[in-house]
Structure formats: structure tokens, C-alpha cells
Amino acid sequence: MKRAMFLIIMAFSMLLITACGTSSAGKEEKTGETEDKIWENIKAKGEIVAATPGTLYPASYYPEDNDELTGYNVEVFREIAKRLGVDIKFETMAFDGMLAALHTGKVDIIQIGPREESKKKFAFSEPVKYSYSTMIVRKGDHSGIEKLEDLKGKKAGGAATTVYSEIARKFGAEVIAYGNVTNDAYLRDVHNERTDVIINDYYLQSLAIGSFPDFNIEIHPDLKFHPTTNNVAMKKEATVLLEKVNTVINEMKQDGTLTELSEEFFGGKDVSKKPEASIIEVEGIE
């Protein structure tokens, strides 16, 4: 699965705060005065459209010699669509374009973590993934970072608009922004000292770093911070769709489907449950 390993890219999507609560199922017509035309259109077409990166192993990627998209996020979407009784179509795009595509109606759903600003514009399901942030640093000296305050003056590789880059900036690091590139570019830059650190999701970093054993890098052994969730996001007015998606997610948790998918794609680890590790809350970061 050599090519799949090179398609590993750091997720810039995973992020925080528990999602909106579930309303009573079966409320098909209206919630308040807002009719859910989005769900009506999905039913009429028989298809739901999801945005996903396609370059993010193991969440969303193309396996070696295979043109069928797969990964944890992708298979969660497929199972949701199946239980909703509709087909699914995927649009692959960089993280920074996913919210815009959702806002314009190009896609119906995406997977990201809810933040205060995005919660004003979009609706979020119950979490489908729990995690926290870690750092990839150079071996030996940890890139000179032993606490979060040591990020001051360091260079952090990442996407411009993610919560991970926001954390880096909060502690005084300079963010070196990348596009939708494969993960070897990020990791090699830390190895070569072009950058000092990559802040990102623990589970994705664990898999990423194991694929490049020749690089002089490691996950920081002492820093675990900023608990996050990954949720299904949709337009705010998609009230019926939200209820239905929440019902399906709860069913998938109860019948073990999310656990099975997680263990398949995350090396036997269950990302559908909250981690038990002691995790530092970063003040001022939602």
C-alpha cells in the first residue's frame, strides 16, 4: 500500500466542542417556520453530495491501483447515505474549499469540527470522531519545544485556516501554509529544518509518522492538548436532515459500526469514543 502511504496528508479539519443535540426523529414537515427543502431535494434526487479531501490517509484517500475513494470519513458517509436510503456522490477538494462549497450548496454535507463562528452558519451532528492535538517535532531536541509557550519564534507547517494553525499563532509561531499536498512534504520540511513543528490530530499523526521511518522526526512524548471532535456539517436550515443524520449516527454507535470502521482505518483504535488521556485545554481556542 505504498502509494496510499504517500497520500497521507495532515488533517486540517478535525476540531472541537460537542455538537448540537438531537431533536425528535420523524419531524418531516417543518421545524419552527423553516421547511427543510434540502432534505426534500435529496429525497427527490435520491442522492446526497459530500465534500472530502481524497488525499487524507486514512480518512479520505484512493488506495494503490484503485480509483474508488475510501477511508474512515468516506465509509462513515457511505453508511449514513445507505441508512438514509439514498446514493452518495463525492466531490474531492482541499479543506479550505469545503465550507465554501457547503455554503453555496455545491455539496450537502462535509466532516469538520464545529467552531463558534461556523456554528453560526452551519448545523453540526453528533461527533463521529474524538481526538486531540499533538506535535510532530525533530527527534532528540523536540525542535526546542518542551511546552506550548516554546512555540514562540518557531515555524509551524499547516493549512492557513485551521484550528491547529490558530494554536500555533496564539503561542507566537509563524505558520508556513501549504495547499492540498501529500504528507511527505510536511514531514520532510520538519526533518530538513525548513519548519520546526506540525500541530495536528493525534491519530493521523501517529499513522503518518510511521510511514517515514528515515525522517528525523517523532510525536512529542509529553504534549497532548486541545480535545477535538469531527462532526457531519450541513446548512443551518437542513433541520430534518440533521435529525435523520443524528439518528443514524447514534444507531451506528450502538450497533458497533463506528467502532468497526475506526478499527479498520486507525490501526485497531476506536476514535468513536472519547480518549481517556489527560489533555490540556488551550485557553482562548474554541
- Note whether residue 285 is domain-resident: no
**6 is in which domain, residue-wise?**
2-130+229-265
- Note whether residue 88 is domain-resident: yes
Q: Are residues 37 and 141 in the same domain?
A: no
Q: Are residues 137 and 96 in the same domain?
A: no
Residue 255 to residue 210: CA distance in whole angstroms: 31
- Note whether residue 277 is domain-resident: no
Please report the pLDDT score of residue 25 as a whole number.
39
Please report the pLDDT score of residue 160 as a whole number.
80
Q: 235-244: per-residue pLDDT in tens?
A: 999 999 999 9
Please report the pLDDT score of residue 178 as a whole number.
83
- Note whether residue 270 is domain-resident: no
Please tell me the number of Cα atoms within 13 Å of 65 on its side-chain side.
Answer: 2
- Note whether residue 203 is domain-resident: yes
Q: Are residues 123 and 145 in the same domain?
A: no
Please report the pLDDT score of residue 162 as a whole number.
84
- CB 122 within 8 Å of CB 234: yes
Domain of 151: which CATH number? 3.40.190.10
Please report the pLDDT score of residue 4 as a whole number.
45
- Note whether residue 282 is domain-resident: no
Q: Are residues 135 and 171 in the same domain?
A: yes
Q: Are residues 125 and 58 in the same domain?
A: yes
Identity of residue 196: D
Please report the pLDDT score of residue 284 as a whole number.
84
Radius of gyration of the chain (CA): 19
SS3 198: strand
17: which 3 cell numbers? 466542542
Q: Are residues 112 and 183 in the same domain?
A: no
Q: Are residues 22 and 157 in the same domain?
A: no
Q: Are residues 219 and 239 in the same domain?
A: no
Q: How far is CA 69 from CA 73, 87, 247, 265, in A?
A: 10, 15, 25, 13
* Helix 257-265 × helix 239-254 angle, to 10°: 80
- CB 124 within 8 Å of CB 232: yes
Strand-pair partners of 15: 229
Main-chain phi, psi angles of 124, to 5 degrees: -125, 140
Q: Are residues 106 and 38 in the same domain?
A: yes
Q: Are residues 123 and 146 in the same domain?
A: no
Residue 102 to residue 49: CA distance in whole angstroms: 10
169: which 3 cell numbers? 499563532
**What's the number of domains the chain is made of?**
2
Q: Which residues of the chain have pLDDT under 50?
A: 1-34
Please report the pLDDT score of residue 27 as a whole number.
41
Q: Are residues 240 and 106 in the same domain?
A: yes
- Note whether residue 114 is domain-resident: yes
Q: Are residues 112 and 13 in the same domain?
A: yes
- The pTM for the full model equals 0.74
